[in-house]
Structure 1
Amino acid sequence: MNLKNFINGKWVEAESGLTREIINPANGEVIAIACESDASDACLAIKAAREAFDSGVWSNLPAIERAAFLFKIADKLEERMDELKVLETLDNGKPHREAEFDIGDAANCFRYYAGLVSKPHGYTYDVPDGAQAMTVREPIGVCGLITPWNYPLLMGVWKIAPALAAGNTIVYKPSEITPVTSVKLFEIIEEVGIPKGVANLVLGPGNTAGQEIAESHDVDKVSFTGGTVTGRKIMQAAAGNIKKISLELGGKSPNIVFADADLETAVDYALFGIFANSGQVCTAGSRLLLEESIHDHFIERLVERARMIRVGAGDNPATEMGPLVSEAHMNKVLNYIEIGKQEGATLVCGGKRITEAGLEKGYFVEPTIFVDTTPNMRIVQEEIFGPVLVVQKFKDEQEAIKLANNTVYGLGAGVFSNDGAKALRVIKKIRAGITWINTYHPTYNEAPWGGYKQSGIGRGLGTYGFEEFTEVKQININLQVEPVGWFEN
């Protein structure tokens, strides 16, 4: 596969002619060659998006016509499900069942925003002085969208669908590591006939193409999902023209289990919370907080089941957990495991790269669990973004809440308890934006996504995600047209 940029309705190579090999993380083999764009390519895409927005070719379309395009994209995604899930697995490594779920959710996301386009988005106000006041929502303009590699197609759709629904034009930069299904999505965008310049795709690294998108004065908003360090750089770059920003950043989410919880349910979700997508999830339940009285028994059962997880290539129907996305990321995760050992945490499960026959060329790491951790350890405080779980003990509700809130992040949190009042009482005191009671991980296109503290700014998905791509305009109408008489003469 030869992967190109899509700029102003045309497929083009990077101006520099540079390319990048795209690697299958299950075996280290090259699956595609992608153009390696830089700031000059981003400038071309931004120019096309600017001209398309200023012309009104998209923003002036009736809402029902914009919606029709989005419905067609959703249909095409489902029609190409078999192709897309294979490509997502080749590119990212996740098992086919996870890829299939992501693609179905992406189609549903387009349908959700297609349905939302024509719904009311303003208010009227009864005000004094014989006047009528109202608000309307209008598109922001040119939106730069930058996404990570852990959900290559779905994360893009979470931004593209609401941005287009609101009438904006876009410049989309997926992760340079996993661009394959993004290219396929833009093939669909081209196929359904969205006007040229409205949707532009730039393949390349963040420090060149991404930096230009964040800095450009012709970009009115940037929406970024990724690491907190990069999020800070996005904020600084966006300050040049005070562009609107949305940031969905890191997490170190607590999963709290009380002694009165259903044990098997809590163990099952603890596994799902950290080992789904090989732990490469921003809301992963990477900190397991256990009430002291159940700690030993819970860990015994957790380790027993973790060792049974079937790790392998994503195209194997038996696989339950795939590889990490790249060799560099695998080495980062393995380094954190060594840090945990050096800090004095006790490794009770996993901790090594998997090198058995058939997997030795891939980037596989065993499901890993640490106990005997303390709050100041790096493995407790820092986002590892891999299949590494750290376990903490607590005595009562107050200590559980204190431990849960003791990081710079505030993205996700879970509570397991059969005492509904206690569970709700605790979850309301957790400083996190996405929370669960007696479950972990399920999210919905209809509900907002985002975090507290250093986990980000703004919300995606739901009506909140639509509003993030709009400006609010106040309109005041004088119903009694006559001189105001403010000055005597």
Structure 2
Amino acid sequence: MNATLQDHVTQALRTGTLPGLPDQLYIDGQWRPAASGDRMEAVDPGTERPFAAIAAGAIEDVDIAVTSSERAYRDVWRHAPPSQRATILRKAALLVRARAARLAVVETLDCGKPLSESLEDVETVARLLDYYGGAADKLQGDTIPLGGNFVSYNQLEPVGVTAHIVPWNFPMFSMIRGVAPALAAGCTTVVKPAETTSITALLLADILSEAGLPPGVCNVVTGTGAAVGEPLSRHPSVRHVTFTGSVDTGRRVMRNAAQHIASVTLELGGKSPAIVLADCDLDHAVEDMLEAIYLNAGQVCSAGSRLVIERGAHAEFIEKFSARAQALTMGHGLKNPAIGAINSHRQLDKIAAAVDGARARGIRAVTGGGRATDPDSGTGWFFQPTVLDDVPAGDPVVQEEIFGPVLCVQIVDTIEDALHAANGTDYGLAACIYTKDLQKALGLARDIDAGQITVNQYFAGGIYTPFGGNKRSGFGREKGLEALRNYCRVKNVTIRI
């Protein structure tokens, strides 16, 4: 750690917070309280104690924010030269990197994740801003060869005001993953962060403003889903909604947007399989799968939460993996353990109920399986890294997303069985295949029903590869150049000469 980062960590551990954290809504380039004056607490999952209080917005604040973004779109941002958008996004990337230490510490206080993961998230945010800054002046249409006396061309236009309803597991990354391409395309944005992880969204909006973003182009309204998310997704001036969250909430968002014929991007989680074939590099698969399921304490939409493994590799894999899982350190995220806290008591209860139910049905937990606390303080919302072995295909822990550090193991005998198991849920977000046989890998990649497939490295591709799901995992793609399509509409012009 450098001295600046260490200073922030030391202060946060000593006082439980950092000074000068934003506590109001960010609308039209200004800080303002919620119209109602209501506030809500931000709680550190590693201590179970509040470390800040922020404005609790509602429908009146949403309307003010959308009106501001609509005005900024109409009068300013849609007319800004693409090179200006690019310059602002790239300057924001520099500012994010300059403030990485403070952003990372705040993210850990808000989320509970290890500091090393928060630092990686900050750098990913900066790279997203750089990437879409580079794309802003390269959004080109095309011509259509009608022949004769006609000239026909398509041009890309921004869709208008966009809403971004952000999840709690990757607050900074998920916000900028949608906001950066929207801004690059010429759209304006209203962000509704998750109620348990709102503060870095406010910090990022302020950074964008400092980078030169005009007032109203990026507004942030904090509050609950019912008070802010619902009216935002049904606001008639919002032309596109980007949402990451649960299937049930995604359905409500889509219904709300349909009332005013707005488009949506839905990323609704998954139950993603990691297929381990007997011919793979088993030691590599073990190490890679530790990250696939235990990154951010398993609170990752695309986590490798199902291990689909050939019987011949099963015993050795489980022995090695369980030993490594048991050795993982847990504790407050600012102490940089391997596994940090669960984001909320509600989520911890959900994880525990899923595992307790599985054990009651006779499923064996090879390791873990219970709640835990920070070993230094005895507080915090933690769950042990867990492996549930030889789980039947129809069991709820295989079929439903747990969103915690719980690996469910399914044993198969053939590659055909592996494919059947991989496709055996209603989700289709991601999948990974571990094998040395390229023919097997390509065949499985072709036939697995998921939006993103990787081979021999679970989290491969990064910000450059399109990401999104099939089936109950939603639709639309984020990241990569594909994400720009969410925020553009095509206008055709045909001229008779």
Q: Could you tell me the TM-score, scaled by structure 2's length?
A: 0.94
Given that 1:346 and 1:371 are in contact with CA atoms closer than 8 Å, whether structure 2 keeps it comes out as yes
1:486 aligned partner: none
Q: 2:56 aligns with which of 18, 36, 40?
A: 36
**CA offsets per residue over residues 252-290 of structure 1, 9 Å max, x none?**
000000000111001111211100110000000000011
Give SS of 1:269's match: helix
**CA offsets per residue over residues 425-471 of structure 1, 9 Å max, x none?**
11211001111101111332221110111111110111110111010
Q: 1:180 aligns with which of 199, 210, 231?
A: 199
Given that 1:343 and 1:377 are in contact with CA atoms closer than 8 Å, whether structure 2 keeps it comes out as no
Given that 2:428 and 2:471 are in contact with CA atoms closer than 8 Å, whether structure 1 keeps it comes out as yes
Q: 2:268 aligns with which of 233, 236, 249?
A: 249
2:254 aligned partner: 235
Structure 1 residues 13 and 463: CA distance shift in structure 2, 3 A: same
Q: What's the offset of the Cα at 1:344?
A: 2.1
Given that 1:344 and 1:373 are in contact with CA atoms closer than 8 Å, whether structure 2 keeps it comes out as no
**CA offsets per residue over residues 283-319 of structure 1, 9 Å max, x none?**
00000011011211211111111000111111114x1
Alignment RMSD, CA only?
1.1
Q: Distance in 1 between matches of 2:54 and 2:185?
A: 30
Give SS of 1:90's match: helix
Q: Distance in 2 between matches of 1:235 and 1:200?
A: 22
Give SS of 1:315's match: helix
Give unmatched runs, 5+ long, in structure 2: 1-20
Give SS of 1:87's match: helix
Matches within 5 A, 1:17-32: 17-32=37-52
- Greater shift, 72-81 or 118-127, is seen at 118-127
Q: What's the offset of the Cα at 1:51?
A: 1.4
1:482 aligned partner: none
Structure 1 residues 426 and 34: CA distance shift in structure 2, 3 A: same
Q: 2:454 aligns with which of 436, 448, 452?
A: 436
Q: Could you tell me the TM-score, scaled by structure 1's length?
A: 0.96
Q: What's the offset of the Cα at 1:356?
A: 6.0
Q: 1:378 aligns with which of 396, 420, 434?
A: 396
Matches within 5 A, 1:323-338: 323-338=341-356
Give SS of 2:464's match: coil
Q: What's the offset of the Cα at 1:8?
A: 1.4
Q: Distance in 1 between matches of 2:442 and 2:362?
A: 34
1:361 aligns with 2:382: no
More helix by share: 2
Q: What's the offset of the Cα at 1:173?
A: 0.6
Residues matched between the structures, number? 477
Q: 1:53 aligns with which of 57, 70, 73?
A: 73
Q: 1:260 aligns with which of 279, 287, 309?
A: 279
Q: 1:421 aligns with which of 439, 443, 460?
A: 439
2:7 aligned partner: none
Given that 1:259 and 1:293 are in contact with CA atoms closer than 8 Å, whether structure 2 keeps it comes out as yes
In structure 1, give the amino acid aligned to 2:185: A
Q: Distance in 1 between matches of 2:293 and 2:333?
A: 18
Q: What's the offset of the Cα at 1:192?
A: 2.0
Matches within 5 A, 1:256-295: 256-295=275-314
Q: Distance in 1 between matches of 2:475 and 2:348?
A: 28
In structure 1, give the amino acid aligned to 2:301: C
Q: 1:12 aligns with which of 32, 43, 58?
A: 32
2:489 aligned partner: 471
- Greater shift, 158-167 or 114-123, is seen at 114-123
Q: What's the offset of the Cα at 1:125?
A: 1.6
Given that 1:410 and 1:451 are in contact with CA atoms closer than 8 Å, whether structure 2 keeps it comes out as yes
Q: Distance in 1 between matches of 2:317 and 2:375?
A: 32
**CA offsets per residue over residues 398-436 of structure 1, 9 Å max, x none?**
110001001110001000011111111112110011111
Q: Which has the larger radius of gyration?
A: 1
In structure 2, give the amino acid aligned to 1:346: R
Given that 1:26 and 1:359 are in contact with CA atoms closer than 8 Å, whether structure 2 keeps it comes out as no
Q: Distance in 1 between matches of 2:94 and 2:182?
A: 19
In structure 2, give the amino acid aligned to 1:388: V
Q: Distance in 2 between matches of 1:235 and 1:179?
A: 23
1:485 aligned partner: none
Q: What's the offset of the Cα at 1:357?
A: 4.0
Structure 1 residues 12 and 433: CA distance shift in structure 2, 3 A: same
Q: What's the offset of the Cα at 1:143?
A: 0.4
Given that 2:293 and 2:304 are in contact with CA atoms closer than 8 Å, whether structure 1 keeps it comes out as yes
Matches within 5 A, 1:390-429: 390-429=408-447
1:205 aligns with 2:224: yes
1:483 aligned partner: none
Give unmatched runs, 5+ long, in structure 1: 480-489
Q: Distance in 2 between matches of 1:341 and 1:451?
A: 30
Q: Distance in 2 between matches of 1:152 and 1:130?
A: 53
Given that 2:374 and 2:382 are in contact with CA atoms closer than 8 Å, whether structure 1 keeps it comes out as no
1:155 aligned partner: 174
1:306 aligns with 2:325: yes
2:100 aligned partner: 81
**CA offsets per residue over residues 142-184 of structure 1, 9 Å max, x none?**
1011110101101100011001110011111110100111111
